[in-house]
Amino acid sequence: MAQGHGETAAAVHGDGIRLSGVTRRYGDVVAVAGLDLAVPRHTRLGIVGPSGCGKSTVLSMVSGLENPDEGVVEVLGDTAPAARLARCAWMPQRDLLLPWRTVLANACVSLENRGVSRREARERVRPLFARFGLAGFEDRRPYELSGGMRQRVSFLRTLVADKDVLLLDEPFGALDSITRAGVQDWLRDTLDAEPRTVVLVTHDVEEALLLSHEVVVMSSRPGRVAARLPVELPPAGSRRELLATPEFVRLRDALLAHLEG
Ligand SMILES: Nc1ncnc2c1ncn2[C@@H]1O[C@H](COP(=O)(O)OP(=O)(O)OP(=O)(O)O)[C@@H](O)[C@H]1O
């Protein structure tokens, strides 16, 4: 069994996300052209590529906030934008927590937005705090938390939205490297325990490999798929040991070579 991937890779079934022949233009700018991507349900796809190659555009199109000019975007069998939107939760780079709300109230926002009463939302979310390493911080304000803790609150809020599809746009870009490593390990364990269909956009090659079942490299604009790398990693005791395995080193080198190419 591949390290950190639990049984999710083996449990692939049903519909996931599919982009077929997708082109998106902004005026004269062709952001992506003829893009084909497939993310089987409950697997995790990492997307890396040069700045401006259309990575965020892909997430916007999956989420239904934007539509392709050509081609089809399908999310769990639906192509209509409103249906795609209903299936996706988006976690941005900045945690976007509301500073005037307590941490618990922030984590409840997505449930309240869906019409769940404030009281019921709190009853449902409070027990999750321990699992997210946030026990005891329920009544604090976001400014009293570290950056890593704020991102965990942000991710908790994203998860309780109970959407099958998670769109992660540089989710740890604002964190320092030590905090980032801890949150990456935590996120991988969390997603192994509670699988979702994930598209992760990142500039961090190690992050892409640690969190994804497959990584695609996009070409510079107009964005197309330049390479696909299935991620198969051996069991390893610690993150440091995993990063030193021949499999990880080979994948990282291959990814960097594609990016440089
Ligand atoms: N709303 C918009 N209006 C006009 N041009 C846009 C719009 N959104 C994106 N673009 C352009 O489309 C291209 C792709 O943008 P996108 O943000 O998807 O790239 P990206 O790979 O996510 O970039 P980065 O890695 O820098 O975040 C860029 O050239 C960008 O300027």
In angstroms, rounded to a whole number, what is the distance separating the alpha carbons of residues 77 and 90? 19
Q: Which residue puts its alpha carbon closest to atom 2 of ligand 1?
A: 26
Report the pLDDT value the prediction gives residue 113, as an integer from 0 to 100.
86
pLDDT score of 8 more than 60? no
pLDDT score of 148 more than 50? yes
More confident residue, 245 or 160: 245
Nearest to 19 by CA among 3, 6, 41, 34: 34
What DSSP character marks residue 88?
A: E
Q: Is the CB of 197 under 6 A from ligand 1?
A: no
For 17-38, write each residue's pLDDT tens digit. Answer: 999 999 999 999 999 999 999 9
24, 35, 55, best to mutate for ligand 1 pocket (most atoms within 8 Å of CB): 55
Report the pLDDT value the prediction gives residue 166, as an integer from 0 to 100.
94
Report the pLDDT value the prediction gives residue 179, as an integer from 0 to 100.
76
Q: Is the CB of 26 under 6 A from ligand 1?
A: yes
Average pLDDT estimate for 168-172 = 88
Helix (H), strand (E) at residue 200: strand 197-201
Q: Where are the domains of the chain?
A: 17-95+165-260
Q: Which residue puts its alpha carbon closest to atom 20 of ligand 1?
A: 52
Average pLDDT estimate for 40-46 = 96
Q: Both tokens of residue 203?
A: 């500039």
CATH superfamily of 17-95+165-260: P-loop containing nucleotide triphosphate hydrolases (3.40.50.300)
Report the pLDDT value the prediction gives residue 156, as an integer from 0 to 100.
87
Average pLDDT estimate for 141-147 = 92
CA of residue 228 to ligand 1 center, whole Å:
22
More confident residue, 121 or 171: 121
Q: Which residue puts its alpha carbon closest to atom 4 of ligand 1?
A: 26
Nearest to 96 by CA among 173, 167, 153, 164: 153
CA distances from 58 to 37, 160, 175, 197 (A): 10, 24, 23, 15
pLDDT score of 4 more than 80? no
Virtual torsion, Cα 134, 137, 139, 144, nearest 10 deg: -120
For 216-229, write each residue's pLDDT tens digit. Answer: 999 998 889 999 99
Grouping H, G, I as helix, E, B as strand and the rest as coil, residue 22 is: strand
Contact 64, 84 (CB under 8 A): yes
Q: Is the CB of 31 under 6 A from ligand 1?
A: yes
CA of residue 255 to ligand 1 center, whole Å:
22
Nearest-atom number in ligand 1 for the CA of 60 is 18
Within the chain, where are the H helices?
Answer: 55-63, 81-87, 103-107, 109-113, 118-125, 147-160, 177-193, 205-211, 239-244, 246-260
In angstroms, rounded to a whole number, what is the distance separating the alpha carbons of residues 35 and 86? 23
pLDDT score of 163 more than 50? yes
pLDDT score of 2 more than 70? no
30, 53, 93, 218, best to mutate for ligand 1 pocket (most atoms within 8 Å of CB): 53
In angstroms, rounded to a whole number, what is the distance separating the alpha carbons of residues 246 and 117? 51
CA distances from 86 to 35, 97, 114, 164 (A): 23, 21, 11, 10
Q: Is the CB of 157 under 6 A from ligand 1?
A: no
Report the pLDDT value the prediction gives residue 54, as an integer from 0 to 100.
94
Average pLDDT estimate for 54-70 = 95
Q: Is the CB of 52 under 6 A from ligand 1?
A: yes
In angstroms, rounded to a whole number, what is the distance separating the alpha carbons of residues 198 and 82? 19
Q: Give the model's confidence band at 235: pLDDT under 50 very low, under 70 low, under 90 confident, else very high.
A: confident
Summary mean pLDDT of the chain: 88
Q: Is the CB of 54 under 6 A from ligand 1?
A: yes
Q: Is the CB of 32 under 6 A from ligand 1?
A: no
Average pLDDT estimate for 121-147 = 91
